[in-house]
Amino acid sequence: MCQVDEEYNGHLEKISLPTLSKKCVKCKDGTAVLIIRVGDAFCRDCFKEYFIHKFRAMLGKNRVIFPGEKVLLAVSGGPASSSMLSQVQEGLSRDAPKKLRFVPGIVFVDEGGACGLSVEERQRAIAQLESIFREKGFPYHVVHLEQVFSLPGSVLEAVSSAPEQPGSSYKAAVDQFIQNSRGEHGLMEPSVEDAESGFAQLSTQDPTYPTEHRLALERLLASVRTLTAKEDLLQTLRQHLILHTARVHGYTKVMMGDSCSRLAVKLLSSISLGRGASLATDTGFSDTRYGDVVIVRPMRDYSSKEIAFYNRMFNVPSVFIPGLDTKTPEKASIQRLTESFVTKLQADFPSTVSTIYRTSEKLHSARTPQSAITDLTSKCLLCMCAIDTNTEEASAFNAILVSERLSQSGLRETAPHTQAQALPTESPGQCCSSGGQGQGCGSGDCCSSAQSSVTPDLKGLLCYSCRLTIKDMTAVETLPQYIMTEAEKRQRRLRMKMEISEFLLDDEESGE
Amino acid sequence: MPVQCSSCTKKRAVLKRPKTGHSLCKDCFFWAFEEEVHQTIVSARLFNRGETVGIGASGGKDSTVLAHVLKVLNERYDYGLKLLLLSVDEGITGYRDDSLETVKRNQQQYELPLKIVSYEELYGWTMDAIVKQVGLKNNCTFCGVFRRQALDRGAMMLKVDKICTGHNADDVAETVLMNVLRGDIARLRRCTAISTASEGEGAIPRCKPLKYTYEKEIVLYAYFKKLDYFSTECIYSPNAYRGHARTFLKDLESVRPSAIVDVIHSGETLSVKEGVKMPVQGTCSRCGYISSQALCKSCVLLEGLNRGLPRLGIGKHHRLHGKILAQQPLTQQEERKLKAIDF
Ligand SMILES: [Zn+2]
Ligand SMILES: [Zn+2]
Ligand SMILES: [Zn+2]
Ligand SMILES: [Zn+2]
């Protein structure tokens, strides 16, 4: 049908390359070397100042990192996270009062085992990164993806953090910090020692991983039918490893290097993957889904172009490591497709990324009910965001359940042309029918019958989007043990809750 | 090798459902298709017994299938609705002539009353005449704005309680994506609503019973039911954002067929920060239609056409609304700006 039902007549902003002005717009003196936005031509020094200022401003505006706090920098070797690393180093080396006052460490997740890299290629990449990390002088942790097979179930437990009141507690922490640093000369010093002892520990650590874990990873990836689901799963496992590393070493914040270009792609692919409810968590400055460890994204104001310029101009080293979708065709996965779509659109309409990015700032993460902190069954087993399948009766989630049920044998409750009134209401939150076969949970008693199976059914424990990922798997039992163990635990809890449901007073509403 | 229907497990499957991937026989597909629309109507409580429901009929596949299915369901489940077809004649030679013929045939086949409202009778202008004045570049603005009101006005003439339109799942998902690309948070929040309650006097509640129905399945349904529809896109191209969003959605669907419903789920579950400004809806002081400005879009467009100043409705000229309302003359400079239009 004709789609002009809306009054959209804003014209897309066409690309227009301004003639390069000779002088810097800021100091009016230096020779302009690059143009950030239309009309903003900067000289080298002013660009550096602008770039550095932006990092500090982002942290200053959000005030979530406390002085003296241990912060883990997640570095992938790519331009954005490498640039973030250089910004932290820059910030720590400044004179007070502009000095950053947290204690950094680095984590690198070696995903070579999932991306078809040889042992030598992986070792070479790690060696390159290690030399960069050593030069920074921060303690670092190299984690191999294979290590997911030895993670403890506790990773998936969201630990509630102390209630945060941004203003007051931040100020208290600053005061505390200033008092402390008056006594001992320079609180930053111990971090250097830390770094050295850190090296000692880490360099003696055996860099290999047991063969059984390597094979387990191969089996896991082989059971995922689509690249879309593989990428999604890899992202989840990577986050779990980073989270675990942070907890084990006492880091309470993790910095991720997502640029605004990256976040625009992430926002759009999240929408396409059914992650609408988690958009704000996935793309916002701070991400509190894990409770005790908070993810922050301080690079979110930089475009990938700015980062590339900065890195080149100021010799920020980065290491290219092929990923899962490197050299795959455009339509290989939803994530890959979204990336190429945004990149192309950005080339024609330079406001694309910033427009999508601005959308992310207006979004809100679905509020987790108070009980969610103690009741893990309301959080997704995999991505740990609030479960979003308790939708209204008329919803996309229920519509697709109805479609699946109506297309399968034996599940057809009424013959055509009979007077069936409204079908039984789905109770998706409690739906736990067999996962692998993709059967809908039509009959009310399915939950009791499917329990004894060896493989726990994950569907009822997952958010909408993670269900899609699991649906693309042929063998759910290839998932790492910590996930399966936690799944069983949560299922037992769900079953218990169902048995006693009629005696429980609904506290979800009063909690808000 | 013949594939067996996964639903009845007896007959031979004739199609693979784009939405779920299941292979179904013809009867099971019809049944599932209709049943799903029924589920949507029941669960979203779209209608009440005794209501008069106007089906926005363009002669295209969506509204033809909608009219057919509503007629079937109204009888099968005894909704007790009074259905009628409502068409808009934009006055586009060669486009509407044929599609209106289709609507007229549908009227006879489905035995539903039909009302055609024309732009000419409502506004005094046909689209052909508008194109002559504004050129091809901006006519979609006019067409869209006028059409929206035309349906409402037609519905009011017929004392219709609700209007339903043939928007399908693809349309809704596409709109979600488009609003993200445009950064239009207000529309992003509203666009997945299955029905709009009556907002102000000028508007009649609207709903989309095919909201969860895949476009491809609509075509399959029409094909196997041998429904008569007129398959021509509006001869005027959709706007740039929608075009990009549409291409992207089709690509997403080809990578993961559930993507259409997944995008709708995202739209339904995302939540907008409190404090983000949303436009306030008021009514047009000239015609009483809903409008966030003093004058509604269509009154501004009409004023522009009638004064020979077509740009009036295209750019943002809110500050001129006062003058127009007071019927004051515009300055020469203002006139010059509003006259120039690129074809
Ligand atoms: Zn300068
Ligand atoms: Zn999830
Ligand atoms: Zn069948
Ligand atoms: Zn008006």
Q: What is the pLDDT of residues B223-239, one digit of tens each?
A: 999 988 876 555 555 56
Q: List the single residue in B240, B251, B267 with the smallest CB-CB distance to A276.
A: B267
The pLDDT value given to residue B287 = 77
CA A74 to chain centre: 11
Q: Give the residue among A154, A157, A139 at the shortest CA–CA distance from A75.
A: A139
φ and ψ at A105, to 5 degrees? -145, 165
The identity of residue B22, as a single letter, is H
Q: Is B304 labelled a binding residue?
A: no
Rounded to an integer, what distance in angstroms lies between the CA atom of residue A494 and that of residue A475? 23
The pLDDT value given to residue A48 = 92
pLDDT(B76) > 60:
yes
Domain span at residue A150 reads: 64-160+201-361
φ and ψ at A377, to 5 degrees? -70, -10
First to last CA, chain A: 43
Question: Is A4's CB within 8 Å of B63's CB?
Answer: no
Instruction: Say how many C-beta atoms besides its own lie within 10 A of residue B113's C-beta.
Output: 14
Q: Is B60 labelled a binding residue?
A: no
Which residues sit opposite B56 in a β-bridge? Answer: B86
Rounded to an integer, what distance in angstroms lies between the CA atom of residue A491 and that of residue A376? 10
Q: List the single residue in A2, A12, A337 with the smallest CB-CB distance to B234.
A: A2
Rounded to an integer, what distance in angstroms lies between the CA atom of residue A70 and that of residue A73? 10
Rounded to an integer, what distance in angstroms lies between the CA atom of residue A83 and that of residue B147? 52
Which residues sit opposite A253 in a β-bridge? Answer: A71, A294
* Chain A residues lying within 8 Å of B36, measured CB to CB: 399, 402-403, 406
DSSP one-letter string for A253-312: EEEE---HHHHHHHHHHHHHTT-GGGHHHHHSSEE-TTBSSEEE-TTTTS-HHHHHHHHH
Each residue of B149-165: pLDDT tens digit?
Answer: 888 888 888 889 999 99
Q: List the single residue in A1, A11, A276 with the smallest CB-CB distance to B270.
A: A276
B5, two tokens: 């229907």
B269, two tokens: 């579950």
Which residues sit opposite A140 in a β-bridge? Answer: A106
Residue B221 CA neighbour count, 13 Å, CB half: 28
Residue A453 CA neighbour count, 13 Å, CB half: 20
A231 within a domain of the structure (yes/no)? yes
- Please report the residues numbered 35 through 64 in chain B whose beta carbons come closer than 8 angstroms to any beta carbon of chain A: 35-36, 39-40, 42-45, 58, 60, 62-63
A465 touches chain B (CB under 8 A): yes
**Residue A320 near residue A132 (C-beta atoms within 8 A):** no
Which CATH number belongs to the domain containing residue A333 in this structure?
Answer: 3.40.50.620
Sign of CA dihedral B269, B273, B274, B275: negative
CA B339 to chain centre: 31
Rounded to an integer, what distance in angstroms lies between the CA atom of residue B48 and that of residue B36? 18
- Which protein residues have a CB closer than 5 Å to ligand 1 (ion)? A 24, 26-27, 30, 43, 46
Which bound ligand lies closest to the C-alpha atom of B15? 3
**Residue A117 near residue A217 (C-beta atoms within 8 A):** no
B341 touches chain A (CB under 8 A): no
What's the average model confidence in pLDDT over B85-107? 80
DSSP assignment letter at A379 = B
φ and ψ at B102, to 5 degrees? -60, -45
B177 touches chain A (CB under 8 A): yes
A33 within a domain of the structure (yes/no)? no
A39 touches chain B (CB under 8 A): no
Q: Report ipTM (2 d.p.).
A: 0.85
Each residue of B204-213: pLDDT tens digit?
Answer: 889 999 999 9
The identity of residue A396, as a single letter, is A
Which residues sit opposite B291 in a β-bridge? Answer: B282
Q: Is B57 labelled a binding residue?
A: yes
Alpha helices per DSSP H over A111-226: 119-136, 166-183, 189-204, 211-222
Question: Is A2's CB within 8 Å of B241's CB?
Answer: no
B7 touches chain A (CB under 8 A): yes
What residue ranges of chain B are covered by domains with CATH 3.40.50.620? 15-269
* Residue to test with chain A: of B27, B34, B36, B43, most A Cβ within 10 A: B43
Q: How far is the CA of A291 from the centre of ligand 3 (A)?
A: 50
Choice between A360 and B279, residue whose per-residue pLDDT is larger:
A360
Closest approach of B331 to chain A, Cα-based (Å): 25
A373 within a domain of the structure (yes/no)? no
Q: Is B251 labelled a binding residue?
A: no
Sign of CA dihedral A433, A439, A445, A449: negative
Q: How far is the CA of A372 from the centre of ligand 2 (A)?
A: 15
A508, two tokens: 């979800």
- The full length of chain B comes to 343
Q: Taking all residues of chain B, what is their mean pLDDT, rounded to a whole number? A: 83
Residue B195: closest C-alpha in chain A: A394
- The per-residue pLDDT string of chain A (512 residues; one tens digit each, 9 = 90 and over) reads 444 333 333 333 333 344 555 688 888 888 888 777 656 788 889 899 999 999 999 998 888 899 999 999 999 999 999 999 999 999 998 776 778 889 999 999 999 999 989 989 999 999 999 999 999 999 999 999 999 999 988 888 766 554 444 445 556 655 665 555 443 333 333 333 343 333 333 433 445 678 899 999 999 999 999 999 999 999 999 999 999 999 999 999 999 999 999 999 999 999 999 999 999 899 999 999 998 899 999 999 999 999 999 999 999 999 999 998 888 898 999 999 999 999 999 998 888 999 998 888 888 765 544 444 456 678 899 999 988 988 888 899 999 999 999 998 755 554 443 333 433 333 443 333 333 333 333 433 333 333 334 566 788 899 999 999 999 999 999 999 999 999 998 888 888 888 887 787 765 443 33
CA B161 to chain centre: 17
Choice between A353 and B335, residue whose per-residue pLDDT is larger:
A353
Distances in Å between the alpha carbon of A504 and those of A225, A493, A507? 41, 14, 8
What's the average model confidence in pLDDT over B76-98? 85
Rounded to an integer, what distance in angstroms lies between the CA atom of residue B69 and that of residue B67? 6
Q: Is B62 labelled a binding residue?
A: yes
**Residue B70 near residue B106 (C-beta atoms within 8 A):** no
Question: How many structural domains is chain A composed of?
Answer: 1
For A28-163, strand residue ranges (E) read 34-35, 41-42, 70-74, 103-110, 140-144
> In which band, very low, low, confident or very high, does the pLDDT at B174 lie, cut at 50, 70 and 90?
very high
A42 within a domain of the structure (yes/no)? no
A312 within a domain of the structure (yes/no)? yes
Question: Is A419's CB within 8 Å of B7's CB?
Answer: no
Question: Is B271's CB within 8 Å of A267's CB?
Answer: no
Residue A469: closest C-alpha in chain B: B256
Closest approach of A335 to chain B, Cα-based (Å): 10
The interaxial angle of helices A44-62 and A304-313, nearest 10 deg, is: 130
Alpha helices per DSSP H over A223-259: 227-248
Closest approach of B199 to chain A, Cα-based (Å): 16
Which bound ligand lies closest to the C-alpha atom of A24? 1
- Residue located via tokens 């902003």: A13
Q: What CATH number labels B15-269?
A: 3.40.50.620
Which bound ligand lies closest to the C-alpha atom of A28? 1
The pLDDT value given to residue B155 = 87
* Chain A residues lying within 8 Å of B32, measured CB to CB: 403, 406-407
> Of the ranges A357-366, B113-122, B244-253, which one carries the lowest mean pLDDT score?
A357-366
B155, two tokens: 């519905």
Distances in Å between the alpha carbon of B87 and those of B46, B119, B151, B219? 21, 11, 7, 21
The identity of residue A129, as a single letter, is L
A419 within a domain of the structure (yes/no)? no
Closest approach of B132 to chain A, Cα-based (Å): 19
Let me know if B302 is exposed, middle or buried by CB neighbors in 10 A (0-12, 13-18, 19+).
buried
Rounded to an integer, what distance in angstroms lies between the CA atom of residue A381 and that of residue A463? 8
* Chain A residues lying within 8 Å of B22, measured CB to CB: 404, 407-408
The interaxial angle of helices A260-272 and A334-348, nearest 10 deg, is: 130
Question: Is A399's CB within 8 Å of B248's CB?
Answer: no
The pLDDT value given to residue B278 = 59
The Cα angle at residue B217 between residues B216 and B219, in degrees rounded to 5 = 65
Which bound ligand lies closest to the C-alpha atom of A33? 1
A504 within a domain of the structure (yes/no)? no
Closest approach of A398 to chain B, Cα-based (Å): 9
Choice between B71 and A188, residue whose per-residue pLDDT is larger:
B71
Question: Is A416's CB within 8 Å of B31's CB?
Answer: yes
Let me know if B18 is exposed, middle or buried by CB neighbors in 10 A (0-12, 13-18, 19+).
middle
Rounded to an integer, what distance in angstroms lies between the CA atom of residue A37 and that of residue A39? 6
DSSP one-letter string for B167-226: --HHHHHHHHHHHHHHT-HHHHHHTT-SEE---STT---EE-TTTTS-HHHHHHHHHHTT
* Residue to test with chain B: of A336, A395, A437, most B Cβ within 10 A: A395
A360 touches chain B (CB under 8 A): no
Q: What share of chain B is helix, strand, coil (3-state, %, to 5)?
A: 50, 10, 40
DSSP one-letter string for B262-286: HHHHHHHH-EEPTT---PPPEE-TT
Question: Is B20's CB within 8 Å of A416's CB?
Answer: no
Q: How far is the CA of A48 from the centre of ligand 1 (A)?
A: 9
Q: List the single residue in A334, A364, A407 with the smallest CB-CB distance to B7.
A: A407
Q: How far is the CA of B4 from the centre of ligand 3 (A)?
A: 8
- Residue located via tokens 């207006």: A362
Rounded to an integer, what distance in angstroms lies between the CA atom of residue A428 and that of residue A432? 8
* Chain B residues lying within 8 Å of A280, measured CB to CB: 271, 273
Question: Is A8's CB within 8 Å of B60's CB?
Answer: no
The pLDDT value given to residue B251 = 97
Question: Is A407's CB within 8 Å of B177's CB?
Answer: no
The identity of residue B150, as a single letter, is A
Rounded to an integer, what distance in angstroms lies between the CA atom of residue B25 and that of residue B30? 9
A153 within a domain of the structure (yes/no)? yes
A42, two tokens: 């900067």
First to last CA, chain B: 56
Closest approach of B124 to chain A, Cα-based (Å): 20
A365 touches chain B (CB under 8 A): yes
